[in-house]
Amino acid sequence: MNPDGATLDGARVLVTGASRGYGAAIARALSAQGAHLVLTATDPAHLGRIAQQCADDGSPCNLVALDLADPASIDAAADEVARAVPRLEGVVMNAGVLGPMGPLDAADPDAIARAIDVDFTGQVRLLQRLSPLIADRAGVVLVTSGAAGRAGYGAYALGKAGLQALGLMLREEWAPRGIRVVSVNPGPVRTDMRAEAHPGEDPATVPPPAERVAPVIAVLEGADPGPLVQASEWGLA
């Protein structure tokens, strides 16, 4: 959490997978609050719209290339983040890929491995590299899914289940530093990934990502709602 303990104005926050969907919605909400954003995408050129939003809000913004399937890219990105900011008051691990769906034993093993690299293994490596930069009492959000461990969702289900386990581990290991590690499940939201996973669904029947960012912002501001939050239930009595 930033020094005044009240707002995110000036807080340095890393958001992975920020070029579209849920990550872009989180980045826009943080920019509106004056956060100094460090945004990643496989191709930083895709972050142009978000960078313009930051400029319009008067918020500093650094763009970083990151391929979570490539250890060298992860290491280079971590080094670039360290050059851009002295520390991070917030981290949002949002990047992910759907990968092959359907029965696990029918999927291409190489495609499964690559998706798990992005959705889990690469995220472990990135958080290891970022750990010295993450400030005491920071908020760390791992974006998970209701598909975690669910049959038929292939590598995505495996990766998100692993990510939730990572959250439980880091929540305990980083507790002495006052770091809040919270997994947030946004639930069904209107994204390209959702459309890919559910091609027959009417997108008008699911909410836009911006309607599900409140718990992420709350954690970054200092709340600790527990190890796993369902964004669709946030704020309900």
pLDDT tens series, the chain, 237 aa: 333 444 799 999 999 999 999 999 999 999 999 999 999 999 888 898 888 988 898 999 999 999 999 999 999 999 999 999 999 999 999 999 988 888 999 999 999 999 999 999 999 999 999 999 999 999 999 999 998 999 999 999 999 999 999 999 999 999 999 999 999 999 888 767 777 777 887 778 888 889 999 999 999 999 999 999 999 999 774
3-state DSSP of the chain: CCCCCCCCCCCEEEECCCCCHHHHHHHHHHHHCCCEEEEEECCHHHHHHHHHHHHHHCCCEEEEECCCCCHHHHHHHHHHHHHHCCCEEEEEECCCCCCCCECHHHCCHHHHHHHHHHHHHHHHHHHHHHHHHEEEEEEEEEECCCCCCCCCEHHHHHHHHHHHHHHHHHHHHCHHHCCEEEEEECCCCCCHHHHHHCCCCCHHHCCCHHHHCHHHHHHHHCCCCCCEEEHHHCCCC
Task: Tell me whether residue 223 is in a domain.
Answer: yes
Task: Tell me whether residue 184 is in a domain.
Answer: yes
Task: Tell me whether residue 114 is in a domain.
Answer: yes
Q: Please give the single-letter amino acid code of residue 225.
A: P
Per-residue confidence (pLDDT) for residue 190, from 0 to 100: 78
Per-residue confidence (pLDDT) for residue 231, from 0 to 100: 95
Provide the number of structural domains found in the chain: 1
Per-residue confidence (pLDDT) for residue 1, from 0 to 100: 39
CATH number for the domain harbouring residue 178: 3.40.50.720
Sequence-separated (6 or more) residues with CB below 8 Å from residue 130: 14, 78, 81, 88, 91
Per-residue tokens: 164: 């939730």
Task: Tell me whether residue 225 is in a domain.
Answer: yes
Task: Tell me whether residue 132 is in a domain.
Answer: yes
Task: Tell me whether residue 3 is in a domain.
Answer: no
Task: Tell me whether residue 80 is in a domain.
Answer: yes
Per-residue confidence (pLDDT) for residue 43, from 0 to 100: 86
Task: Tell me whether residue 2 is in a domain.
Answer: no
Per-residue confidence (pLDDT) for residue 199, from 0 to 100: 80
Which domain covers residue 47, as residue numbers?
A: 12-231
